[in-house]
Amino acid sequence: MASEIHRASTTAPVNIAVIKYWGKRDPKLNLPTNSSLSVTLSQSDLRTHTTASCSPTYTHDELILNGSSQDVSGARTQACFRELRTLRKQLETTNPSLPALSSMPLKIVSENNFPTAAGLASSAAGFAALVRSIANLYELPASPTELSRIARQGSGSACRSLFGGYVGWEQGSQPDGSDSLAFEVAPASHWPTMRAVILVVSAAKKGVSSTTGMQTTVATSSLFPVRANDTVPRRMAEMQTAIQERDFESFAKLTMMDSNSFHATCLDTWPPIFYLNDVSRAAIKAVEAINHAAGKIVAAYTFDAGPNAVVYFEEENEGIVAGALRKLVGEKEGWKGEAKSDDAVVEKVVKEAGVVQELLREGVSRVICTGVGEGPVKTDEHLV
């Protein structure tokens, strides 16, 4: 039938790294200079929903994100389409009774349940959903690890969004990238009590993109080789142990030190790159004050290529961590439940906050309360 439309849909999560990917050894294939590790966040709060469709009646490949048409001619999107079509073509060659989907134009429709402009890792969820939905459409017998090789070429961090829970990305050493793949460190069920509050900080102007920023860092920073060759390999191993043992204090310290190390290489880039602003630094101070008042490490901050703070903590400390952050930031869109009544630790943090409280109140536009979550989920809700 000429008018037939084939379709498949999925949702895919955002991930926030606790050991950061920063630096490419091959910019075309998005092969990194170091391994990285992230926590996949719950799709109830942050997800991309994508329908991949193909039809002999379509005239060209098309991608629509949140209602507006996107350019698909870029090398990254093209690489994903090409790789997935090649895998489909192999199936069709082996089994000629299959419909020739690989030669039909694709129409991909995608929607985020969070504001794209908030500067959250939307490219990671976006490319993970794009690759997973086309793989479903093509009925490819590919595992998340195999698909991570393809999603990586869309955006490096996207390879980690094919899994839920705690996810590593092995840098690999092959020039063709065949061993630069994502892997599951632990499922969400291994450590389900991990929570995160994202403080969305409004940036005056858009900063340097991660792609450009990391290239400049690799080319100019003298701190960078130490980070890539020594610091990160050591911390990758320590972080995996911390996760296996559900050792929050080690997890948190490594997370904060790695974020600081990454932003130090940004400052050491020439010309320097500043992703953190005064509000971000106020968030760091707030987390330090919370940990100090609690008498142990109960919260960890981390920052990507922008000013938003992501604060990880365990559910049992929600009252202290989210409670103190809420008092400091004020009643903004996104807090869940009632504001907690007084708590000695929270009181202590607020009493000593001073200018930190002013900066957070003024600079945080909204918050997102979330936690560790699952990987991509197939859905029958189609957008085409």
- Asked if 259 is part of the footprint of ligand DP6 (rule: CB under 6 A), the reply reads no
By C-beta, is 291 or 302 nearer to ligand DP6? 302
Q: Is 74 exposed, middle or buried (0-12, 13-18, 19+ CB in 10 A)?
A: exposed
Per CB under 6 A, the list member of 9, 12, 20, 102 interacting with ligand DP6 is 20
Binding piece for ligand DP6, criterion CB under 6 A, among 62-70, 87-95, 135-143, 151-159? 151-159
Q: For residue 113, what are its two tokens?
A: 């349940």
Query: Which positions from 315 through 354 interact with ligand DP6, judged by CB under 6 A?
Result: none
Are 164 and 374 within 8 A, CB to CB?
Answer: yes
Residues of this chain, 30-59, that bind ligand DP6 according to CB under 6 A: 30, 36
What's the CA gap between 228 and 304, in Å, rounded? 17
For the bound state, the minimum distance from the C-beta of residue 135 to ligand DP6, rounded and expressed in Å, comes to: 20
Q: What is the DSSP string of 254-272?
A: HHHHHHHHHHHHHHTSSS-
- Per the omega criterion (within 30 degrees of 0), is the bond before 271 cis? yes
Span from 154-162, 174-182, 278-286, 355-363 in contact with ligand DP6 (CB under 6 A): 154-162
Does 171 bind ligand DP6 (CB under 6 A)? Our answer is no
- List 70, 193, 202, 211, residue binding ligand DP6 (CB under 6 A): 211
In whole angstroms, the minimum distance from the beta carbon of 155 to ligand DP6 comes to: 3
Q: Which CA distances in Å does 284 have to 78, 264, 328?
A: 39, 14, 12
- Residue 77 touches ligand DP6, criterion: CB under 6 A: no
Q: Answer whether 148's CB lies under 8 Å from 159's CB.
A: yes
CA distance 141 to 136: 9
The rounded distance, in Å, linking the Cα atoms of 18 and 302 is 7
Contact predicate 314/300, CB 8 Å: no
Token couple for 375: 């990987």
Which one of 13-21, 61-69, 80-88, 328-336 is the stretch in contact with ligand DP6 (CB under 6 A)? 13-21
Q: Which residue has the tokens 């690759």?
A: 131
Residues 84-123 binding ligand DP6 (CB under 6 A) are 121, 123
User: 43, 148, 155, 357: which one contacts ligand DP6 (CB under 6 A)?
Assistant: 155
210, 302, 308, 357: which one contacts ligand DP6 (CB under 6 A)? Answer: 210
Residue from 17, 256, 284, 325 binding ligand DP6 (CB under 6 A): 17
**With binding defined as CB under 6 A, does residue 359 bind ligand DP6?**
no
Token pair for 373: 């979550």
- Rounded Cα distance between 360 and 197, Å, is 14
Evaluated on CA atoms 61, 7, 113, 199, the torsion sign reads negative
Interface residue with ligand DP6, options 131, 282, 305, 320 (CB under 6 A): 305
308 counts as binding ligand DP6 under rule CB under 6 A: no
Q: Does 260 bind ligand DP6 (CB under 6 A)?
A: no
Binding site residues, ligand DP6, CB under 6 A: 17, 20-22, 30, 36, 121, 123, 155-157, 210-211, 304-305
